[in-house]
């Protein structure tokens, strides 16, 4: 019972068994009416036959040759008695009788089992609902009724009107109809009649349900088994494992999510490997320089004051480089883990842009780059001034690096929608290939294409990752657009002043 497929199959069988039980129960609760319908149906068939035979014999008795005496009422009664008492006319439990218009059985004109006396029996239905006119189409059809016999349970019966000629000949007796009566079929007879059919139908239904249930459970269980095998493979380190999205909608969704998960795990593992490779490379170069110059000083290779001074300067610069790298890594980790809280104050972007202009204007002028700030709209946001300055420093620094002399770096802001402002930093540099844009904000990501900075040296590949985390912590988003040969634009959004950052966005 541990297998999902077995559980599903037994669940289907249980549901089928409960359904069949309830169907059988409802059938037996309604079998009383069905039992009477069967009994009445048999009586109607038998009644038509007996009525036709009785009327035929009476009419034959009424037909006489010219000169023969006309049959009397007694002659017709003798004919009826002979007909009713004829052996093997009906089954042993069936009773026949002639009744008058009020439904009373006419004594002496009956045929019944030995233990059943029809004297004083009355067909109550005929008394309340008179017989149709003789000779009418309705008179030829059997009418369902109940025969009340003193001291016995009522019998089911059908009544048939006699032919008009016969009624006229028997007018002295008051005879109106002939009835055929018998006890209602027992429950055992009905069950015995239905049980083989019900069992056969039930077995056919169960067999079909088993086949369909197995097929359906297989359609659910097989994709889950594939996902389980793939999960075990991923647990062993095979992150390239994928599963086909087949089966019901929920299973297809599970397979699609599993595939996305493995893609993310594979990407995360690749990012981790790249991170380790990049951090090793970034640390290796300054540490090699520090070690080389320190050993040269220690073993006396460099012994002149000028050389020692130069070596000490290199060691100091490279140490500062290592410290900056470690500090940026720690800063990124703290922001991602939520250990760094962002202040929520009103920040005037005009003030921030003026400060940034003071910081970068000299550098831009030295490299022949035009630096423009063009705030518009609300120009007031909700956030941490220092952290937003850190984001802008990184974006403007990158723009100045990759913008050639004579180019332009433009910083703008505008109202994007109610409650949100958009800030953009554009440059006229060489642009970024489209395949690199989705990875710009990953740690240590470096484009595989040739994209050397026009001014200054390359960074560590952490600044944009930190900028993304800071913007997200403020409830905004950051992205980049670029066109090769025409430049790149970095865009991020922030909530305006007086509107708190969404909790879902701040980590």
Please report whether residue 507 resides in a domain: no
Please report whether residue 208 resides in a domain: yes
Its pTM stands at 0.46
Three-class DSSP category at 180? strand
Please report whether residue 504 resides in a domain: no
pLDDT tens for each residue of 373-422: 988 877 788 888 888 998 999 899 989 988 999 999 999 998 888 888 99
| Domain endpoint, select from 290, 306, 335 | 335
Tell whether 388 and 315 lie within a shared domain: no
Tell whether 312 and 219 lie within a shared domain: no
Tell whether 43 and 146 lie within a shared domain: yes
Q: How far apart are CA 10 and CA 164, in angstroms?
A: 68
Least confident of 2-6, 170-174, 467-471: 2-6
Can you give the pLDDT at residue 506? 37
Q: How far apart are CA 506 and CA 494, in angstroms?
A: 12
Q: How far apart are CA 110 and CA 106, in angstroms?
A: 8
Tell whether 347 and 385 lie within a shared domain: yes
Q: How far apart are CA 147 and CA 158, in angstroms?
A: 9
276 contacts: CB under 8 Å, gap ≥ 6: none
pLDDT tens for each residue of 484-503: 888 999 999 988 876 555 44
Selected residue with higher pLDDT from 400 and 300:
400
Tell whether 346 and 491 lie within a shared domain: yes
Please report whether residue 154 resides in a domain: yes
CATH of residue 267's domain is 1.10.287.130
For the chain, the domain total comes to 4
Residues recorded for the chain: 507
CA 264 from chain centre, in angstroms, equals 26
Please report whether residue 503 resides in a domain: no
Q: How far apart are CA 168 and CA 259, in angstroms?
A: 95
**Residues spanned by the domain of 81:** 34-185
Can you give the pLDDT at residue 370? 93
pLDDT tens for each residue of 37-74: 777 887 888 878 877 777 777 777 777 666 666 666 66
Please report whether residue 238 resides in a domain: no
409 contacts: CB under 8 Å, gap ≥ 6: 364, 369, 370, 371, 372, 396, 399, 400, 403, 425, 426, 427, 428
Please report whether residue 214 resides in a domain: yes
Tell whether 321 and 462 lie within a shared domain: no
Tell whether 272 and 322 lie within a shared domain: yes
CATH of residue 461's domain is 3.30.565.10
Question: Does the pLDDT at position 480 exceed 90?
Answer: yes
| β 345-348/155-161 pair status | unpaired
Question: Does the pLDDT at position 157 exceed 70?
Answer: yes
Please report whether residue 505 resides in a domain: no
Which secondary structure element, helix H or strand E, spans residue 417, and what is its range? Answer: strand 408-417
């Amino acid at each position: 019972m541990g297998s999902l497929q077995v559980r599903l199959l037994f669940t289907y069988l249980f549901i089928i068994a409960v359904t069949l039980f309830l169907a059988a129960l409802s059938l037996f609760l309604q079998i009383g009416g069905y039992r009477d319908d069967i009994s009445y149906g048999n009586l109607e068939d038998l009644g038509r036959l007996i009525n036709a035979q009785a009327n035929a014999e009476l009419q034959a008795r009424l037909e006489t040759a010219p000169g023969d005496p006309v049959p009397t009422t007694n002659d017709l009664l003798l004919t009826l008695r002979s007909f009713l008492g004829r052996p093997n006319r009906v089954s042993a439990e069936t009773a026949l009788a002639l009744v008058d218009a009020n439904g009373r059985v006419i004594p002496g004109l009956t045929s019944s089992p030995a233990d059943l006396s029809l004297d004083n029996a009355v067909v109550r239905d005929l008394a309340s609902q008179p017989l149709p006119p003789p000779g009418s189409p309705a008179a030829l059809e059997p009418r369902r009724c109940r025969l009340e016999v003193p001291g016995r349970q009522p019998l089911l019966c059908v009544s048939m009107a006699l032919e008009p000629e016969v009624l006229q000949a028997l007018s002295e007796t008051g005879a109106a109809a002939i009835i055929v009566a018998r006890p209602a079929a027992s429950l055992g007879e009905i069950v015995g009649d239905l049980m083989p059919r019900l069992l056969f139908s039930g077995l056919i239904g169960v067999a079909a349900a088993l086949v369909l249930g197995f097929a359906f459970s297989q359609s659910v269980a097989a994709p889950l088994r594939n996902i389980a095998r793939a999960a075990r493979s991923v647990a062993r380190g095979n992150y390239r494992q994928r599963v086909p999205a087949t089966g019901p909608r929920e299973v297809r969704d599970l397979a699609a999510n599993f595939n996305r998960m493995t893609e993310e795990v594979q990407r995360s593992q690749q990012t981790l490997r790249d991170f380790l490779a990049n951090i090793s490379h970034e640390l290796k170069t300054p540490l090699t320089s520090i070690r080389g110059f320190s050993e040269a000083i220690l073993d006396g290779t460099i012994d002149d004051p000028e050389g020692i001074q130069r070596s000490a300067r290199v060691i100091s610069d490279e140490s500062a480089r290592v410290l900056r790298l470690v500090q940026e890594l720690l800063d990124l980790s703290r922001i991602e883990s939520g250990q760094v809280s962002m202040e929520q104050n009103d920040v005037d972007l005009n003030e921030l842009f003026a400060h940034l202009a003071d910081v970068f204007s000299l550098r831009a002028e030295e490299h022949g780059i035009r630096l423009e700030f063009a705030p518009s709209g609300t120009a007031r946001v909700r956030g941490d001034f220092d952290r937003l300055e850190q984001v802008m420093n990184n974006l403007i620094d990158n723009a100045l690096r990759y913008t050639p002399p004579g180019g332009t770096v433009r910083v703008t802001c505008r109202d994007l929608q109610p409650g949100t402002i958009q800030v953009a930093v554009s440059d006229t540099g060489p642009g970024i290939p489209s395949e690199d844009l989705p990875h710009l904000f990953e740690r240590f990501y470096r484009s595989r294409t040739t994209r050397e900075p026009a001014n200054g040296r390359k960074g560590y590949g952490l600044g944009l990752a930190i900028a993304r985390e800071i913007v997200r912590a403020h409830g905004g988003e950051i992205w980049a657009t670029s066109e090769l040969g025409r430049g790149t634009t970095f865009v991020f959004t922030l909530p305006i002043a007086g509107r708190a950052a969404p909790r879902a966005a701040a980590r």
